[in-house]
Amino acid sequence: MLRLVCDGSALENSMQLATDMRLVPEASSTLIAAKGRSGAVSKTPEDLANIVSAFASSDGWLDRVRLRANGRWYERLYHDPDYDVWVISWMPGHSTGFHDHGGSSGAFVVATGTLEEHRPGERTRVIQSGKPRTFGPDYAHDVRNAYLAPAISIHAYSPPLDEMNEYELDGTQLVPRERPTGKDQTLDQEWRPQSRKPAERTGALSIEQVLSAARSRLRRLSPLEAFEASTKTEAILVDIRPESQRAIEGSIAGALVVERNVLEWRFDPASSARLPIATDHGIQVIVFCSEGYTSSLAAAALQDLGLWRATDMVGGFHAWRASGLPIVQPSEASQDRSS
Ligand SMILES: [Fe+2]
């Protein structure tokens, strides 16, 4: 593995930093600092903004770009006791989910492409190349590439990134996402690309890879979570199964029926065929199908349209029924609402 280093004087001048970078084998470097080394001086968000701008304007990150269909690719470009710098490669649809950065302040800048930043209760920010975003400790956000082109971004944190916590959106509030293990696994989740085998150079993806990529973008809900979201919040439960399947299996009272073949046209706020409820990209659509496979692809397709809260229900209608949640028996299902 190669790592980007620079000499000590360059650390004091972020503009010089970009020109002093070089790649060296990690084993030969002495600049990696032990975590917690005394004497570290925290950078301000404005310092970090200058640093990411300097890195972005250099060509030191170009050979670190890796575009992977199944997850964001990151690499750390620089690390010292005061701060660290990362490059992240984003394919269309990749997102971080809501997270914070522990006690670290940070800054990031888009080098190429366009990203979006989401915060509860705030308008979506479109982050284009050139102007860094900055934040202080305990700042939480969800960053995503909601566009059709890949994006590359440069991130810096001070103190160096040591802890991240994930959150779920509950209405307009962020609640900590439960994790089975500690912060190291959370860091893995945030920064490491998934270990699944990448696409072959033919460019063809298997359905397992496509499904995995779709689900990596979703905060999937169990049937009980979907039930509570649809009854206690403004979330919309959407049944995408064909009529023939609903007639055999039954349906869910109150679920909106929008069959898969018209789903995007009904929920794109810019579509002339949209539903009256599809007024903006912030609505939460919970898609379900029969067993929870097609629904993942459908939810990802809605995210591609900018409906960033779209997700699906694990296990689909079958899991809902098995959970003992209320259903409309097949003989009654013909009374479903339809799009
Ligand atoms: Fe972040």
pLDDT digit string (tens) for 15-46? 333 323 322 223 222 233 333 445 678 899 99
Distance of CA 243 from the midpoint of ligand 1 (Å): 42
Hunting for tokens 């925290």 — which residue is that? Answer: 42
Return the HEC string of 178-212: CCCCCHHHHHHHHHCCCCCCCCCCCCCCCHHHHHH
Q: Cβ atoms within 10 A of the Cβ of 118, count?
A: 22
Torsion of CA 52, 81, 17, 137, to 10 degrees: 20
113: left (phi over 0), alpha (psi -120 to 50) or beta: left
Cβ distance 168 to 219 under 8 Å? yes
Distance of CA 310 from the midpoint of ligand 1 (Å): 20
Distance of CA 13 from the midpoint of ligand 1 (Å): 25
The count of C-alpha atoms lying within 13 angstroms of the C-alpha of 290, restricted to the half-sphere facing its C-beta, is: 10
Task: Tell me the mean pLDDT in the region 73-78.
Answer: 89
Strands 285-288 and 236-239: parallel
Residue 216's pLDDT band (cuts 50, 70, 90): confident
Distance of CA 141 from the midpoint of ligand 1 (Å): 6
Surface-to-core class of residue 338, CB atoms within 10 Å of its CB (0-12 exposed, 13-18 middle, 19+ buried): exposed
Distance of CA 334 from the midpoint of ligand 1 (Å): 47
Task: Tell me the mean pLDDT in the region 57-61.
Answer: 85
Distance of CA 134 from the midpoint of ligand 1 (Å): 10
Q: Cβ atoms within 10 A of the Cβ of 168, count?
A: 15
Distance of CA 142 from the midpoint of ligand 1 (Å): 7
Distance of CA 265 from the midpoint of ligand 1 (Å): 32
Distance of CA 53 from the midpoint of ligand 1 (Å): 17
The count of C-alpha atoms lying within 13 angstroms of the C-alpha of 330, restricted to the half-sphere facing its C-beta, is: 7
d(CA 314, CA 312): 7
Mean pLDDT of all residues belonging to the chain: 80
% of the chain with per-residue pLDDT over 90: 53
Distance of CA 82 from the midpoint of ligand 1 (Å): 18
Distance of CA 23 from the midpoint of ligand 1 (Å): 25
Is the pLDDT at 58 greater than 70? The verdict is: yes
Token representation of residue 315: 């296990």
Distance of CA 251 from the midpoint of ligand 1 (Å): 40
Angle at 163 between CA 303 and CA 300, to 5 degrees: 10
Distance of CA 101 from the midpoint of ligand 1 (Å): 6
Within 8 A by CB and 6+ apart from 53, the residues are 14, 109, 132
| Residue-wise pLDDT tens digits, 217-252 | 788 999 999 999 999 999 999 999 999 999 999 999
Distance of CA 68 from the midpoint of ligand 1 (Å): 19
d(CA 107, CA 165): 17
| Residue-wise pLDDT tens digits, 259-298 | 999 999 999 999 999 999 999 888 999 999 999 999 999 9
Task: Tell me the mean pLDDT in the region 316-325.
Answer: 96
Is the pLDDT at 115 greater than 90? The verdict is: yes
Q: Which DSSP state fits 330?
A: G
**pLDDT for the residue 150:** 83
Distance of CA 155 from the midpoint of ligand 1 (Å): 8
Lowest pLDDT segment from 92-106, 154-168, 203-217, 266-280:
203-217
| Residue-wise pLDDT tens digits, 174-183 | 999 875 444 4
**pLDDT for the residue 207:** 87
Is the pLDDT at 193 greater than 50? The verdict is: no
**pLDDT for the residue 157:** 97
**pLDDT for the residue 27:** 27
Task: Tell me the mean pLDDT in the region 74-99.
Answer: 91
**pLDDT for the residue 306:** 87
pTM more than 0.75: no
The DSSP line for 59-79 is STTGGG----TTS-EEEEEEE
Strands 105-112 and 73-79: unpaired
d(CA 120, CA 297): 25
Distance of CA 329 from the midpoint of ligand 1 (Å): 46
Is the pLDDT at 308 greater than 50? The verdict is: yes
Distance of CA 59 from the midpoint of ligand 1 (Å): 23
